[in-house]
Structure 1
Amino acid sequence: MARITASQALANVRVLDLSRVRAGPTCVRVLADFGADVIRIEPPAGVDPNEAMFAGNRMGGDFQNLNRNKRSLTLNLKKPEGLAALKRLVATADVVVENWRPDVKNRLGVDYESLRAINPRIILASISGFGQDGPYAKRPGFDQVVQGMGGLMSVTGFPETGPVRAGIAVADSSTGLYAVIGILVALHERKVSGEGQWVHASLLHSQIAMMDFQVARYLNEGDIPQASGNDHPTSSPMGLFQASDGAFNIGASGEGTWQRLCHMLGRAEWIEDPHYLNERLRVLHRKRLSGELAKVFATNTMDHWVRALNDAGVPSGPVYTVPQLVDDPQVRHLGVVQETRSDDGQAVRVITQPVHLSRTPAGVETAAPGWGANTDEILREAGFSDSEIAELHAREAI
């Protein structure tokens, strides 16, 4: 397979993807979808005892969604020949992405200074659990561990439940996005300086950054955020309500929206009610207000209220399951789901990039690659002769 060009936006960028699991592949997926030539570098089967975590089900939806638009090269970095091959590839690359513990790349000799000596324009993006140095630097990091340490679990759930894990991998996914922002900034800056640089992001810092609303309030106002269930901590009425046939959300924050809600419900008298005169009072008297709203919303269907509220300028929406969200007409209109095919013709559906560019949009050209499916062709592109490739096979370095 020749290089994959899903878009022209990053068509001149080559990426060596050494990352595993979620944060790193999330980062690299953005580059791949915008046209970068991404080479996923994996150990040969049986080399890594944890391989089931990152490649156990290659046709599974998660692996396919994370690794589309990439080619695959196997390298055994425990072999000197495999490590030497990686360094030759670095000379041809623009970006290297890894999410090992910080000490691993130093031990292998593929830290930033070592890579810079090979290719001064190289950008090394390192993703870790807790940062590249400091007291926790050598700790392994997993999303749920960092959700706890980053404060997210303390504000998720209901006061009576105690800490609750968020239903998605917030720390992993946000770190991948912060890392790709850093890579894109470094690529832009390189046009001026002519030099690469070391980009690094951690799950812990990224998770705290995602908690900025809560943490900034604590730092500046001394407000200690608590779990508040389906209610917004500083706005009311904003949260989950029950119609006669199901749940839906409303967001009536701000005086203008609050007044539109009151008029739409035929409760204009609430506007002058001393309990509800401003946002602070509506939060203070949330239980009373929510009880009154519950009585009204129970009189009609979810579809009725969602339509009526939006028509009145009050944000509202249903609570979907995954099958329901996929079938939503606006989701279909946005092209959120796209179908591609694997090498053996099997249909694979993935989630597209949520950011749209008018001239050079992201694309999905191929499904995720087979394990090492492009090894020989990638090595030939990098200048390896057929005899060198055969020797690497013989030494089990690829």
Structure 2
Amino acid sequence: MSAGALDGLVVADFSRVLAGPYATMMLGDLGARVIKIERPGGGDDTRAWGPPLDADGQATYFNAVNRNKESVVIDLGSDAGRAQALDLIAAADVVVENFRTGTMEKLGLGYDDARRVRPGIVYCSITGFGSGAGAALAGYDLLVQAVGGLMSVTGPDPSQPTKVGVALVDVLTGLHALAGIQAALAHRARTGEGQRVETDLLSTALSSLVNQASGFLGAGVVPAAMGNRHPSIAPYEVFSTADRPIVLAVGNDKQFAALTRVLGAPELATDARFTDNTARVAHREELFALLTELLVRRSADDWFALLNDAGVPAGPINDVAEALALGERLGLQPTVEIPGAAARQVANPIVLSATPVTYRSAPPRLPE
């Protein structure tokens, strides 16, 4: 097995639940040694977040973000536990924590404490709402999706704000933490200097609103939920077919012309209502009705094959099982066997030619 890109890097992982553990799992996949510090009496909260449970009775939620880690139980409320934790920090390159702001400082394990015992430490703090006026607020993904604007643009219409089906803000925050840690490590490699890395759920949610936030800042447009439609593109939504729904994601005029040819209605591409994207957005309802009338004549899988052969982005709405099966058919190897794990897991999506990710160990059991 070749050495990973982060082989030799040691991470002291004080994080729990999702954002922090996702970031540290990614570091572990890339070759780092990750030591997960857990509380006595139960460990990471997600160990109890079942069902579903795997064949070994372990919560699959915990398993999703904790492979390639070792686990040690430490009572951070005791003097002996804090001393043990400080010893781990002294031997680490990276610290990751997502306690409420000020908690690690009160324990004597904050950034200033860490760099006293380990000059050059990269110390990543993940919070819900930053370390200022929002420091006391609890950071939960659903809450941040609500107050961060994401739910306002998600759902069938403005009267039914809806959360995303996974804790997306947590995952995105974990990825931002990973990027910040990697940047700090690159800086340390050049200068020998460590630094503190901070990110928070709300800032990540706001950054991830991308075009929706830009539309407000640049044009004063406050976006609202449009179901499966796109505010700036048409046709870019869900349509009925003879059996199940299909998505069309037509991003330019060439793709639209190809769509009309496959549907047997090439005249639509020269119809004044649909000749360019601006016109199609203005006449969205008429276009939707016309396309639906044509699409219901065949099955979603038939259209998937025909449209993709013609270069038109389209596909059926798969469930999770069907989505993983699609990845397999496309040769993406979306799942992997983990040594000692009761079930396969979703693979790391990063492909490196010289230092590929590795899957060395199953999510750890809680030490006795």
For 1:160 and 1:151, how far apart are their aligned partners in 2?
12
| Residue identity opposite 2:163 in structure 1 | R
- The alignment status of 1:372 with 2:367, answered yes or no, reads yes
Aligned to 2:344: 349
If the length of structure 1 is used for normalisation, what is the TM-score? Answer: 0.87
- The alignment status of 1:28 with 2:24, answered yes or no, reads yes
For 1:42 and 1:155, how far apart are their aligned partners in 2?
37
For 2:2 and 2:344, how far apart are their aligned partners in 1?
16
Matches for 1:379-398 after TM superposition, within 5 Å: none
SS of the counterpart of 1:250?
Answer: strand
Aligned to 2:296: 298
Aligned to 1:53: 45
Contact 1:339 1:347 in 2 (8 A): no
Contact 2:158 2:226 in 1 (8 A): no
Aligned to 1:379: none
Contact 1:40 1:71 in 2 (8 A): yes
The Cα shift of 1:313 comes to 0.7
The Cα shift of 1:23 comes to 0.5
Write the deviation string for residues 297-340 of structure 1: whole angstroms up to 9, x where unpaired.
01111111111111111011111111212222546721111122
Percent identity, please.
36
If the length of structure 2 is used for normalisation, what is the TM-score? Answer: 0.94
For 1:329 and 1:103, how far apart are their aligned partners in 2?
43
For 1:331 and 1:311, how far apart are their aligned partners in 2?
16
- The alignment status of 1:8 with 2:7, answered yes or no, reads no
For 2:327 and 2:115, how far apart are their aligned partners in 1?
49
| Residue identity opposite 1:163 in structure 2 | P
Aligned to 2:53: none
CA, structure 1 residues 322+6, in 2 after alignment: closer, same or farther (shift >3 Å)? farther
The Cα shift of 1:111 comes to 1.4
| Residue identity opposite 1:37 in structure 2 | R
The Cα shift of 1:278 comes to 1.6
For 1:93 and 1:276, how far apart are their aligned partners in 2?
60
Contact 2:47 2:59 in 1 (8 A): no
- The alignment status of 1:126 with 2:121, answered yes or no, reads no
For 1:369 and 1:7, how far apart are their aligned partners in 2?
22
Contact 2:46 2:61 in 1 (8 A): no
| Residue identity opposite 1:88 in structure 2 | D
Larger of the two Rg values belongs to structure: 1
Structure number with the bigger relative contact order (C-alpha 8 A, sep ≥ 6) is 1
SS of the counterpart of 1:185?
Answer: helix
Aligned to 1:250: 248
Kindly tell me the number of residue pairs found equivalent between the two proteins. 361
Aligned to 1:238: 236
Write the deviation string for residues 37-71 of structure 1: whole angstroms up to 9, x where unpaired.
0001112226xxxx572322672222112111101
Which structure 2 segments of 5+ residues have no match?
51-56
Contact 2:328 2:334 in 1 (8 A): no
Which structure 1 segments of 5+ residues have no match?
374-398
For 2:308 and 2:266, how far apart are their aligned partners in 1?
18
Give the root-mean-square deviation of aligned CA atoms: 1.7
